[in-house]
A and B are shown apart, each in its own frame.
Chain A
Amino acid sequence: MEPLLLFPDPAPPELAQALDLGGYPWKPVTDDRAAERQEPPDGWAGAVVCADVDPETAFAVCRTIRKRDVPLEPLLLLISGTQLGELELRDDLFDDFLLTPFHPRELEARLKHLFWRTGRGTRPELIEYRDLVLNLETYQAAISGRPLDLTYMEYELLKFLAAHPGKVFTRETLLSRVWGYDYYGGARTVDVHVRRLRAKLGEEHANLIQTVRSVGYSFGQSRWSS
């Protein structure tokens, strides 16, 4: 699945986390020009635009991707309760809206429904990387057809890593994006879980997760390299 366009950049952490947990790849853009410039070859899968902090740029982004031959669908707009008036005469700019602060479950439910209604792609069900397959619907992971017995957090960590092959993440980033809450183990927790994941992946696949010295971890290789 191509990434969702996300405005603004940097993405609000709670939004980034909700999308990661929902299994949606995404890419933040800074303004309307970036929205065009950074569009992937197969087009954006959809867009989530936050208009609560900088509505002017936000609506400019919406206009850019909607006012063209094939308008981008679906577009979910996030606004604060005091901005409801601004929706007037802008019905063509979005498919649905959500009030901030939002509930992650509501965001997920609305996106799912939008994708279904617009018929433009559906929620990604599988993450595949070579022999590794993660089924996001059933929470099951398998390598070379062998099911992996994972705990919830091991599964979430593997899902996050496998969704971003080739990218290097620091321990803090992984902790905040995958765990998202204070955990007894602190940043060392990540090392512990990586060690456990490698053991479960088995010797021949353990190197899927690489330690990047004095930085953190990365998974496999980017599809764009080599």
Chain B
Amino acid sequence: MERQQDYVLRTVEERGVRLVRLWFTDVLGQLKSFAISPAELETAFDEGMHFDGSAIDGFSRVQESDVLARPDPNSFELLPWSSEDGNSARMFCDIESPDGSPFEGDSRQVLRRNLDRAHDRGYSFLCAPEMEFFYFADGNPNTAPEPLDTASYFDLTTADVAGNIRQRTIHMLEAMGIPVEYSFHEDSASQHEIDLRYTDALSMADNVMTFRLVVREIAMEHGAYATFMPKPLAGQQGSGMHTHLSLFEGDTNAFYDADDPYKLSTVGKSFIAGLIRHAPEITAVTNQLVNSYKRLIIGYEAPVFVSWARNNRSALVRIPVTKPGKASSTRIEYRSPDPACNPYLAFSVILAAGMAGVEGGYELPPEAATNVFEMTDQERKAAGLRALPQSLAEALDEMEHSELVAETLGEHIFEWFLRNKRSEWADYKSHVSQFELSRYLPNW
């Protein structure tokens, strides 16, 4: 580690960095940050920086609330937006208890732990999410969201603005070492998609955190508002975070088998079987908002039923067709997550579900050959198709009984998450919505 730290210290000096931002993530996946001066850097590396963990969601415990943020020098990156008082840089932190052990409330350490586990079995876990989001004129929650590129006035001009924002965002992401695979305008008005190029899951979770910040920051620069809310507009496609997954053993793609009709190895098949069996339990983590479940409905490109297929976008797990000879690109696409998740926890439970299949030698159920949305309830029942949880409450019920999720997240985060989300659901349940007023008030 010493050389990496030396690199950071020298770069800070050489490049005139005035502020070093230490980033970390709370249990719900909100980016938190505090800034230190270069003079404090060495202490931060050697001893970590103390802060009161009870200020952070999910960090509080009854007895001890003091925790240590220890910056990860490998994540050091100069921030491409400069402020008046010079350059600034950021590092992601691991959170430790005062005794130096990994802090149980730190979701980055949860992912680290799960990656280490897979690593001990010889696997590297790579992922590549497709990030969808909307640009709106502003973020005012009291008025209906106004898409940027269907404004009737100056239609063309505003459409250009969204394109410009996206271009600049991509430029900024690349400058921060987050390569972009594709980007395009999505189905809905003002909806955009930026696909990130695969990397190891820990770097990718860091990238997702950076991505959400950059997208919002650049939108703000242009006087617009970007949101990762899963379903901001009723009647239109919601925003998903379809995530492509692969396991590598050294240089070999563990999902690939040239002799299989699906080009899938036994490991690949049992990984999918693991996702299929445990999908309902992990959905509260991959889709953590009340609003997430308004996206997971029939009629859109979001999955509703637990199924897998090659060419069927209604499936929960899709096997993208790869070009002949491209063994390394064999992968699995998991389609339920949305971009409002905590990526550290989401990647953790997805990996754990898949690995449970690999270790338990799960049998892969048959492929869903037809569009599962077009089947009748009875046909689905006959085919043994289960539905994903229909609401946050159902998802929490599934999660509460899951050994797998409890073990993956650790007792502290598992309990805190359930408690926090139950209370979110209780708030929602007690709310009387416009739908109810419009529907019932005139008639009852």
Contacts and interface: CB of A to CB of B under 8 A. Distances in A.
Interface in B293-334: 328
Interface stretch (A48-56, A57-65, A123-131, A181-189): A181-189
A192 B77 contact: no
**Interface residues on chain B, size class:** 35 or more
The interface residues of chain A, by DSSP majority, are classed as: helix
B355 interface: no
A151 B176 CA distance: 9
Contact of B251 (A152, A155, A187): A187
Contacts, number: 87
Contacts of B203: 184-185, 192
Contact of B15 (A147, A153, A183, A188): A147
A152 B129 CA distance: 25
Top 4 A-B residue pairs of the complex, sorted by shortest distance between their CB atoms: A185-B200, A186-B124, A184-B200, A187-B251
Contacts of B80: 149
A21 B201 CA distance: 27
9 contacts: A139-B7, A151-B76, A184-B115, A185-B124, A188-B248, A188-B251, A192-B179, A192-B203, A196-B179
A118 interface: no
A192 B251 contact: no
A155 B4 CA distance: 10
Interface in A173-226: 182-189, 192, 195-196, 199-200
Contacts of B289: none
Given A21-B3, A151-B75, A155-B7, A186 B175 contact: no
Interface of B: 2-4, 6-8, 10-11, 14-15, 73-78, 80, 115, 119, 124-126, 174-175, 177, 179, 197-203, 248-251, 328
Given A138-B10, A187-B248, A187-B251, A182 B197 contact: no
Nearest to B4: A152
A139 B14 contact: yes
B11 A187 contact: no
Nearest to B178: A196
A153 B1 CA distance: 12
A184 B203 CA distance: 9
A138 B175 CA distance: 21
Q: Interface centre among A21, A184, A188, A192, by most B CB within 10 Å?
A: A184
A196 B250 CA distance: 21
B14 A140 contact: yes
A154 interface: yes
